Structure 1
């Protein structure tokens, strides 16, 4: 009953918490660690205290990062924790970070649609333009897949990002049909 009671008390979300200190110089080390932590989707609870929902993949990534910090002459501890207080706020912070990522994807989808519209206005209906736009759509899809993979608590912005990406795919399909028609006429 002890473990069950603890899970009920903490809402069931267990966290991996990385507490670290990096030498002040060179500053690139600090920036590199920050980028890696953000890339994992972790949130900062305080300066140099980052958290991720517990999972095997998150643990592997944070253990590797801990070793990197130690190798650069810093200190780092990796803990598992359940929130005794403030759990909902931590979950909200984590979901807000995912929603920010989803919102950025939606913004990039708008940029993508604007680029396709620009191709129509300029009457650029070539395979080269299609290939470039197709590559951009693949990047958007891959980015969304990464965010969805780390969205283990179910942030609300996922649907809007998926809808925006579906719209991009539909518009690109329409553009591709136009490219095929234009390229076919030149033969």
Structure 2
């Protein structure tokens, strides 16, 4: 009896699973209700939940794999919902059936984000191409493009930080960012040359 209780306690303490064994993850589930009016409250909560990378299990029920960061974010959001006159419950749950589907939905959401970053990388490369065609080789243009690449890198870091279940799109995104880095380096070299500076 004592060993059984110890085993149950040990199993219950597991919060963060292994990406190789996504079925072992526990999930944070936020169940909430916001006032019907004004509608901006509902839209604001929806945007915040999407911004955290959570998936919706159904209307007003969102989930994230349990991590310390996810819990902090959901607790803050729960507080915001109650302060606006709504109600919210934050639960920890282990999936007994449908785990693969939840993992697939979570990874699909991350892959959509990765794909969006790759698309923006393509836009970045087109912008550099445009600079070449227009022969804009100035420090001002270089700085602007460098800032754009920093934004892309920061966006990737944000998505990658919540990609705890190992979505497949990460490799292609890293590759796209690497290509942007290489092209920007080549452009920078041309700017230095035009400005009469040696590297």
TM-score range, shorter chain: over 0.9
> What pairs with 1:165-180 in structure 2 (closer than 5 Å)?
165-180=177-192
Give 2:68's match in structure 1, choosing from 56, 66, 70: 56
TM-score normalised according to structure 1 size: 0.94
Q: Does 1:25 align with 2:37?
A: yes
Q: Report the aligned-residue RMSD.
A: 1.7
- Take 1:163 and 1:109, find their aligned partners in 2: how far apart are those partners? 10
Q: Does 1:122 align with 2:128?
A: no
- Take 1:4 and 1:114, find their aligned partners in 2: how far apart are those partners? 54
Secondary structure at the aligned position of 2:88 is classed as: strand
Q: Which consecutive residues of structure 1, in runs of 5 or more, have no partner in the other structure? A: none
Give 1:133's match in structure 2, choosing from 138, 141, 145: 145
Alignment correspondent of 1:2:
8
Give 1:36's match in structure 2, choosing from 36, 42, 48: 48
Alignment correspondent of 1:181:
193
Give 2:57's match in structure 1, choosing from 45, 48, 55: 45
- Take 2:97 and 2:149, find their aligned partners in 1: how far apart are those partners? 42
- After superposing on structure 2, the runs of 4+ consecutive aligned residues of structure 1 that deviate more than 4 Å are 3-8
What is the CA deviation profile of residues 23-48 of structure 1, one whole-angstrom value per residue up to 9, with x for unaligned ones? 11111111111111111110101011
Alignment correspondent of 2:122:
110
Q: Which consecutive residues of structure 2, in runs of 5 or more, have no partner in the other structure? A: 1-6
Secondary structure at the aligned position of 1:11 is classed as: helix
- Take 2:161 and 2:11, find their aligned partners in 1: how far apart are those partners? 29
- Take 2:160 and 2:100, find their aligned partners in 1: how far apart are those partners? 20
TM-score normalised according to structure 2 size: 0.89
- Take 2:132 and 2:87, find their aligned partners in 1: how far apart are those partners? 55
- Take 1:166 and 1:52, find their aligned partners in 2: how far apart are those partners? 29
Q: How many residues end up aligned between the 2 structures? A: 184
- Take 1:31 and 1:69, find their aligned partners in 2: how far apart are those partners? 12
